[in-house]
Structure 1
Amino acid sequence: MRILNICAYSWETGGPPKIIFDHTQVVLRQGHQVDILSPISPGERPYPVPEGARLILCKRTPGISRFFREFSGELYRFLQKHVRDYDVIHCHGLWHFGTLAPFMLDRQVAKVITIHGVLDRWTYAQNNWKKRIMDTLAQKAYLRRADLVHINNTDEREDVLRYLGYQHPNVVIIPNGVKMSDFVSLPAKGTFRTKFGLPLDQKVVLFLSRLNKKKGLDLLLPAFRDYVRQHPGTVLALAGSDDGYEAETRQFIEQNNLGDSIRMVGMLTGDDKKAALADADLFTLPSYSEGFSMAVLEAMAAGTPALVSDRVGFGEAIREHEAAGLVDLTPEGVRAGLERMLGNDALRERVRQNATNLLRTQYDIEIVAKRLLDEYSRVARKK
């Protein structure tokens, strides 16, 4: 099969590029062709491309893309010329130009849309007026036309039902997966602490995600402030690129004199990210909304015990298998979770082991990528 993924394929985007990267490696080994079509802005860094795949970068159109997200005339012209070169076109997210353009141009090629959590009530409420305009003009009609709607969990099934007003006839639940082999060998303990000047004799709580209010930073910051006043031998490392909440975060740290207790280390990739996970006593993501968090999967794959909300995309499985600590979405709830997890070494070890077992049986990339590939084959044959 010839497969085209359409996504903003950059480090700044977050989870979807990593998901595409890992899936593509499996798909290429099965003998298929994969292209990735991505709008790009000046200063953005393209995400790595698996060997054997092709990345096609298209400049965003200045001005228009401020209002029409990721609008790119280059992308549209590429699709005009090549849309029927593919058996499956896989669009990632909603309300992006790249998700709409294939439907504008073609009715013959099989089209897949992955929701990526954007229909969650909290997420949908953000910039709602723009989304309603897009819904009226095109997005709902094109989602109805999708040959396959790919979701990550049962909550998203309800989100799709609420959005469309009926259940799409072709919805499949396939979770994100993680390449477990990437985390077999981690940097030596102390590597991250030494490089970024964190104390070797204190516990480290790691937040590893984009700096966005959606990720629960407005809960984590006051929760950690109150926690560290009672437990001063603890450091919170905030690792991530700015996505609208860095200024507020820095202001909070300064106003509360937390410069020694909360360290901002920027976006981490490659070995630096693995070193951070290896050194952390606890990973945390008290997010309001996630399609299916790759950050949580990677923390679990690295053997780092986690403290998260049940909105990270697989809260039911986490609760059933006790694969992480779960928190209420309040500062008090997050602080209670920090108290519970950091104060109990045996509990952290138990959830760490449970998480590893859960990933091996349900979320290994080899399992989930092959399931999605089977769905590609099915919808392509129907066309």
Structure 2
Amino acid sequence: MRILNICAYTWAIGGPARIIYDHTNEVLRQGHQVDILSPMTPGEKSYPVPEGARLIECARTTPVSNYYREFSIGMYQYLKTHITEYDVIHMHGIWHFGSLAPFLIPNHAVMVITIHGLLDKWAVAHSKWKKDLVTILYQKRLLGKADLIQINNTDEQQDVIRYLGYEPKNMVIIPNGMKLSEYANLPKKGLFRNKHQIGTDQQVILFMGRLNIKKGLDLLLPAFLKVHEKLPNAILILAGPDDGYQSETEDFIQKNNLGNKIKLVGMLTDTDKKEALSDADLFVLPSYSEGFSIAVLEAMTSKVATLVSDRVGFGDYIRKYNAAYLTPLNSDGVAKGLLKILQDQDYAETLVKSAYKMVTENFDIKVVANQLLEEYKKIKKI
């Protein structure tokens, strides 16, 4: 099969790029061909491209793309010329030009849309007027026209039904996955601590994600203040690029005199990220909305105890396995969970074991990639 993924394939976009990377490696191994069509802003760093795949970069067209996500005349021109070369067009996410453009050009490819959590109530309420406009213009209609809608869990299934007003026959639940072996041998402990002047007696709470309100930073910051009062050796590492909430974070740090207890280290990639996971005592993501958090899977695979909300994309699995501390979406709940994990080593180790079992039994990319390939093949056009 010749497969085209459409996504902003950059480090900053986070999970979807990683999902495409891992899935592509497995699909290539089975003899299929994969291209990735990505709108880019000058200066953006593209995600690594699997050997054997091809990344086609197209410039975002400003100022339109500032208001309509991923709008790119170059993307449209590429599709107009090459769309007939593909058997599968896989669009990642909705509300943006990349999920519209393939429907504007006649073609015979299987049209696949992965929702990535973007119909969650919190996500829909954000920039609601834009999404209402897109809904009226085309979004509901195109979801109905897609050959396959990939969702990750039963929560997302209900989101789609609520949005469309009916349950589409073209919808299938396939969780995302990752290459587990990549986190089997982490860097030796102490490297990240040495780089950031963190003592061996300090307990490291690690947050990895875009500095965005939806990640629950408005809950995590005051929760950490409560933790600091009881555990003064605890330190919070915020690892991620600014996505609208860095100035508020810096103001909170300054106001509460936490400059030596909360460190903003920017986005961590490759070895730097693994060094941070190796040195972390706890991973935290009290998110309001996630499609499917690869960052949480990475932490669990790295055998780090985790505290998350049930909105990370696989809350039902976490409940089944008791794989993480599931926090309510308030700062008191986050603080209680942080303290529980940091003060109860036996509990933390139980979470680690349960989470690792959950990941290995359900989210190995070899299993997940085959499930998606089989769904491609079921569609009569192939």
| Conservation of the 8 A alpha-carbon contact between 1:206 and 1:239 | yes
1:172 and 1:119 map into 2 onto residues whose CA distance is 15
Identity of aligned pairs, percent?
57
3-state SS of 1:238 partner: strand
Q: Say which SS state the counterpart of residue 185 (structure 2) adopts.
A: coil
Distance in 1, Cα, partners of 2:185 & 2:54: 28
Measure how far apart 1:197 and its partner are.
Answer: 1.6
User: Could you say which residue in structure 2 is the equivalent of 1:211?
Assistant: 211
Match of 1:162 in 2: 162
- SS of corresponding position for 1:298: helix
What RMSD in Å do the two structures reach over aligned CA positions? 0.9
1:247 has 2:244 as partner = no
- Determine the structure 2 residue equivalent to 1:144: 144
Q: CA deviation at 1:106?
A: 2.4
Q: Deviations over 1:197-217 (max 9, x none)?
A: 222211100001111110000
Deviations 1:51-81 (A, max 9, x none): 0000000001111111111100000000001
Instruction: Provide the residue aligned with 1:345 in structure 2.
Output: 345
- Corresponding residue number in structure 1 for 2:87: 87
Q: Deviations over 1:272-313 (max 9, x none)?
A: 100101100000000011111000000001111101111111
Q: Distance in 1 between matches of 2:37 and 2:378?
A: 23
Alignment of 1:74-113 (within 5 A): 74-113=74-113
Secondary structure of 1:289's counterpart equals coil
Equivalent pair of 2:10/2:45 in contact (CA under 8 Å): yes
Aligned residue for 2:207, secondary structure, equals strand
State the distance in 2 between where 1:321 and 1:95 align: 34
**Structure 2 match to 1:361:** 361
- How many residue pairs align between the two structures? 382
Q: Deviations over 1:178-233 (max 9, x none)?
A: 21100111111111110122222111000011111100000000000111012101
- The Cα offsets for residues 126-169 of structure 1, whole Å up to 9 and x where unpaired, read as 00100111111111111110000000000011110011111111
Question: TM-score, normalised to structure 2's length?
Answer: 0.99
Q: CA deviation at 1:89?
A: 0.3
Q: Secondary structure at the match of 1:185?
A: coil
List runs of 5+ in structure 1 lacking aligned partners.
none
Question: Whole-Å Cα distance in 2 between the matches of residues 339 and 12 of structure 1?
Answer: 30
Most deviating of 63-72 and 17-26: 63-72
Distance (whole Å) between structure 1 residues aligned to residue 369 and residue 196 of structure 2: 35
Residues in 2 aligned to 1:82 and 1:40: alpha-carbon distance in whole angstroms: 19
Alignment-derived partner of residue 118 in structure 1 = 118
**Structure 2: distance between partners of 1:107 and 1:86:** 9
Report the secondary structure of 2:157's partner residue. Answer: helix
Q: Secondary structure at the match of 2:26?
A: helix
Query: 1:108 deviation in Å?
Result: 2.2
> Who is 1:62 aligned against?
62
Residue equivalent to 1:227: 227
1:81 maps to a residue whose letter is T
Counterpart residue number, 1:20: 20
SS at match of 1:224: helix
Question: Does residue 38 in structure 1 map to residue 16 in structure 2?
Answer: no
When structure 1 is superposed on structure 2, of 212-221 and 168-177 the one drifting more is: 168-177
Give the residue type in structure 2 aligned to 1:226.
K
Aligned residue for 1:366, secondary structure, equals helix
Confirm whether residue 178 of structure 1 aligns to residue 173 of structure 2. no
CA contact (8 A) 1:178 1:301 kept: no
**Whole-angstrom CA distance in 2 between matches of 1:282 and 1:106:** 50
Once the two structures are superposed, what CA deviation does each residue of 1:20-76 show, in whole Å capped at 9, x if it has no partner?
000000000000000000000011111110000000000011111111111000000
Would the aligned equivalents of 2:209 and 2:295 in 1 still touch at CA under 8 Å? Answer: yes
1:333 partner amino acid: G
- Structure 1 residue 373 displacement after superposition: 1.0
Show CA shifts across 1:296-332 (max 9, x none).
0000011111011111111111111111111110000
Q: 2: CA distance between counterparts of 1:195 and 1:6?
A: 37
Partner of 2:3: 3
Matched AA of 2:369: A
Aligned mates of 1:43, 1:97 — CA distance in 2: 21
Contact (CA 8 Å) 2:38, 2:58: kept in 1 or not?
A: yes
Q: Offset of 1:96 from its aligned partner?
A: 0.9
Secondary structure in 1 matching 2:210: coil
Distance 2:301 2:376 in 1: 27
Amino acid at match of 1:43: G
